[in-house]
Amino acid sequence: MKYFLMNAENFSDMTDQLETQLEQLKIEKKDILSAQLLLEEIFWRMVNKDKDVQVKVQVLKKFFGKVQIQMTSENSPYNPLVEVADWNEDTDDDDYFTVMILKANRQKLNWLYKQNCNIVTINVRSKSNAQAIITIACIVGGLICGIISKLLVGQLIAALVMVTFFMIFIWRVGKILFKLFAAKVSTLLPPTFATSSSSVVMPAMMQLCTDKLGIAPKISSFAIPIGTSLPQAGCMIYFITLCFMFLRMYGVELDLQTVVLVSFLSLALSFGAPAVPAAYVICVVTIVGYFGVPEEVAALMFCLDALSDRIATCVNLVSNTALTTVLARTENLLDEKIYFEN
């Protein structure tokens, strides 16, 4: 905001400009009057200390809607608020009313001495407004951080563990280099993440198996559709992660029996979950409903779907192609010449 220099001669005009600036920031009238009164009392104390002083006055707009008036004067260290803190009822002071005004609003005021300048700050906007905004921001931030920590981070860890398992499976069972497999399959991850549907990328997956991995068409045309429609590893870890989060949210104890039951139900439902976005909602509601969690959690799941379902779909892609590759290898239907091509 624009600043202006205030002295004894132009004090009245400058307070009018200050009022205009505060009105533009939609400050309530009572807060404007209170700020003007405090500014007047502090300004004349600075003038009484030094007749020639010029005070730089600036309106500052802070985070969460907080508004302050900053008064800066070049001079030796002088705190116009210290006498307010030291004043008591037994003091014979002709400035009784002005001292009481400043003392009553002491929490709105702050002083510091920096770079040969006395700086007094007046908090203008009502404290309750700022606290309400900060409270709402903390609630939203806490919800986002909770979702990220409990769902996305947990799902990412589970996805990495699952992908690592398939890499080892290719290496130990298929007896082939998994680095080449990872490099070729990774080219299909962007469209898989974007579409969030195994069915949509299934033709591209079959073409990848034939053209890049050297898998015979009769294997890929059978294994990929079966893998896409039945066992989906990504859905299983997604179900488990979501169920654990909702059960903890509603106070259900995650003992060994609960963990085993949730894992078994997630595995069973992952075989029948359709390969379309947001189909998991019915499956998760079915599982958590068994433990007394209300069906309203479905609304929250649609909000979480933007990233989580995409991660699960990428895991499905890796698992389907990995199992198809190993199957082709064990049946001698994998063209190594194509597989080892860059």
Q: Kindly indicate the confidence band of residue 96, based on its pLDDT and cuts at 50, 70 and 90.
A: low
**In DSSP terms, which residues pair with 119 in a beta bridge?**
72, 112
Write down the pLDDT at residue 131: 59
Write down the pLDDT at residue 276: 62
- Mean pLDDT lowest for which of 128-137, 177-186, 311-320? 128-137
pLDDT of 180 over the 70 cut: yes
Mean pLDDT for the stretch of residues 157-181: 79
> Which residue, among 147, 166, 175, 153, has the nearest Cα to 315 in the 3D structure?
166
pLDDT of 123 over the 60 cut: yes
pLDDT of 311 over the 80 cut: no
pLDDT of 42 over the 80 cut: yes
pLDDT of 314 over the 70 cut: yes
Write down the pLDDT at residue 174: 78
The tens digit of pLDDT for each residue in 10-29 reads 888 888 888 888 888 888 88
- Mean pLDDT lowest for which of 40-54, 185-199, 226-240, 324-338? 226-240
Mean pLDDT for the stretch of residues 302-308: 68
> What is the side-by-side strand order in the sheet with 67-74?
3-6, 55-61, 67-74, 117-123, 109-114
Mapped onto helix, strand or coil, the DSSP state of residue 3 is: strand
Contact 53, 75 (CB under 8 A): yes
Percent of the chain with pLDDT over 90: 0
Write down the pLDDT at residue 195: 80
Mean pLDDT for the stretch of residues 154-164: 72
Structure tokens at 84: 């307010």
Mean pLDDT for the stretch of residues 309-335: 83
The tens digit of pLDDT for each residue in 219-263 reads 888 888 887 776 566 667 777 877 888 888 787 888 888 888 888
pLDDT of 93 over the 60 cut: no
pLDDT of 275 over the 70 cut: no
Domain boundaries, the chain: 3-125, 138-339
Q: Kindly indicate the confidence band of residue 60, based on its pLDDT and cuts at 50, 70 and 90.
A: confident
Which CATH class name applies to 138-339? mainly alpha
CATH 3.30.565.10 for the 3-125 domain, yes or no? yes
> Which residue, among 190, 174, 215, has the nearest Cα to 333 in the 3D structure?
215
CA distance 316 to 325: 14
pLDDT of 128 over the 60 cut: no
pLDDT of 342 over the 70 cut: no
> Which residue, among 297, 278, 280, has the nearest Cα to 288 in the 3D structure?
297
Mean pLDDT, the chain, whole residue set:
77
pLDDT of 294 over the 80 cut: yes
Owner of token pair 């001669």? 9
CA distance 209 to 325: 8
- Specify the higher pLDDT residue, 272 or 246: 246
Q: From residue 235, how far is each of 200, 221, 325 by CA, in Å?
A: 16, 22, 21
Write down the pLDDT at residue 133: 64
